[in-house]
Amino acid sequence: MIAIVPMVASTVVAATPLIYAALGETVVERSGVLNLGIEGMMLIGAVAGFAAARATGSDGVGFAAAAAAGVALSLIFGFLTLNLQTNQVATGLALTLFGVGLSAFVGHNLAGLPVERLAPITIPGLTAIPVVGDLLFHYDVMVYLSVALFVGVQWFLTKSRIGLTLRAIGESPAVAHAIGKPVLATRYLAVIFGGATAGIAGAYLSLVQTPMWVEGMSAGKGWIALALVVFGTWKPTRVVVGAYLFGGVTQFQLFAQGFALPIPTEFLSMLPYAATIIVLVIICRDPRTILLNQPASLGHSFHPTA
């Protein structure tokens, strides 16, 4: 029973960066833009956050710097795909390559240096409750903010009028333009939001999970976040469930490896990916679910013609 507590705790820590990155990308893709550059924006966020936190000693500044760095990179993407109408897939891939290279270059002298891990917060009265306190009220502030982000994104997409406009633009930018909606501006804001969350996701790796800067430390988490968005059929709830599932199985297999079970470790390492894919494939086994939920204009450039 008590072994569950550390596993849940590490699951939450493993899932949090995925939640930030995937929720951001959900909003971006709902507006009809496909940004494959998450991995690059995460790495830039990781190195920027690490450098800023080390320089100032403040984690808050670190996360703010990470978000700003992610936004800067996403603005490049936005300018290329929205203004110059380059191919979104190619531009996104280029952004990832650029982010990988730039973060390694900038972070060359930071590799291996220590930084204080963002400490869990203590909630008076709640954290002290046995088991429940450890399970629910013993995390760092970014975990609680990720829950708030989920609630916010869910509300924004399903309840708010701007969210409705964003979804409408994702379905048909031409129609949205015809009824006078600002297609480019809305898409820009979505891309910027996605950049900020990807940057924060990266900083969570270098300031909480590891906590240090290692070249290429996102190790494919940006791609996992992208896959979660698709398999979660662009619905925030499913995306978050997928992220916790992936984080949970990742931690489970680490624990399992520790018990020296008679299963090849390669299989255990494969488990998180396989489990996530299987569960999400079951969720959306009806191809209509994808067709009905996928933003119809996803990945297509839009040129407003007067």
Residue ranges in contact with another protein by CB under 8 A: 161, 164-165, 167-168, 171-172, 175-176, 178-181, 288, 291-293, 296, 306
Tell me the two tokens of residue 278.
């299987």
Hey, what amino acid is at 191? V
Least distance between another protein and beta carbon 151 (Å): 20
CA distance 57 to 53: 5
Least distance between another protein and beta carbon 296 (Å): 7
Least distance between another protein and beta carbon 241 (Å): 22
Residue closer to another protein by CB (options 114, 180) is: 180
Phi, psi of 280 (to 5 degrees): -70, -30
CA dihedral 162, 163, 167, 170 (to 10 degrees): 70
Residue closer to another protein by CB (options 124, 285) is: 285
Tell me the two tokens of residue 166.
């964003």
**Which residue carries 């984690």 as its tokens?**
59
CA distance 253 to 80: 41
Q: Bridge-partner residues for 114, per DSSP?
A: 212
Least distance between another protein and beta carbon 297 (Å): 11
Least distance between another protein and beta carbon 219 (Å): 35
Residue closer to another protein by CB (options 127, 301) is: 301
Residue closer to another protein by CB (options 35, 186) is: 186
Least distance between another protein and beta carbon 305 (Å): 9
Residue closer to another protein by CB (options 175, 270) is: 175
Least distance between another protein and beta carbon 161 (Å): 6
Tell me the two tokens of residue 219.
């190790």
In the chain, the DSSP E strands lie at none
Nearest C-alpha neighbor of 200 from the set 218, 188, 226:
218
CA distance 231 to 285: 10
- Alpha helices, H only, the chain: 4-30, 38-56, 59-78, 88-106, 132-136, 141-158, 161-171, 173-178, 183-204, 221-231, 236-258, 265-283, 287-293
Residue closer to another protein by CB (options 260, 306) is: 306
Hey, what amino acid is at 38? I
Residue closer to another protein by CB (options 57, 304) is: 304
